[in-house]
């Protein structure tokens, strides 16, 4: 148990569906992150939030829309996805966004786009 909870653990959706991934951290951290991990590829940073403000948007397609309503919750809204978006989506948090910050990851949502 890392203190970072992601739901759902598995999600299957069609290309025309709209779904949301949820992440909640119980660590009192101020920074939250979304990473994407495709099969046999390194983790790719998608978004970084610090105190509910987006500080990094790593050239992610607009079909992925993040939302951070408070420092404990992070969402990733999905719409009109492509099969190549199938991957493990990981949420992480850290005390602050800074050099050497230790990341705490959730278990991820395994997404399959049909």
Q: What are phi and psi of 84, to 5 degrees?
A: -70, -5
In the complex, minimum distance from the CB of residue 80 to another protein, in angstroms, rounded to a whole number:
26
- C-alpha distances (whole Å) from 71 to each of 27, 38, 58, 102 are 10, 27, 20, 16
x/- letters, 47..66, toward another protein (CB under 8 A): -x-x----xx-x--------
Nearest CA to 25 among 3, 50, 54, 2? 3
Tell me if 42 contacts another protein by CB under 8 A: yes
Q: In the bound complex, what is the minimum distance in angstroms from residue 26's beta carbon to another protein?
A: 15
If the CB atoms of residues 7 and 58 are measured against another protein, the closer one turns out to be 58
Greatest CA separation for the chain: 40
Binding site for another protein (CB under 8 A): 2, 4, 31, 33, 35, 41-43, 45, 48, 50, 55-56, 58, 88, 90-92, 94, 97-108, 110
């Amino acid at each position: 148990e890392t203190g970072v909870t992601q739901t759902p653990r598995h999600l299957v959706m069609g290309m025309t569906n709209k779904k949301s991934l949820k992440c909640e951290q119980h660590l009192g951290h101020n920074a939250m992150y979304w990473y994407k991990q495709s099969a046999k590829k390194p983790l790719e940073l998608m978004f970084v939030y610090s105190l509910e403000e987006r500080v990094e948007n790593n050239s992610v397609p607009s079909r992925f829309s993040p939302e951070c309503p408070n420092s404990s919750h992070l969402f990733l809204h999905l719409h009109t996805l492509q099969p190549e978006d199938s991957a493990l989506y990981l949420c992480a948090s850290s005390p602050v966004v800074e050099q050497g910050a230790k990341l705490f990851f959730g278990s991820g949502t395994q997404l399959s786009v049909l």
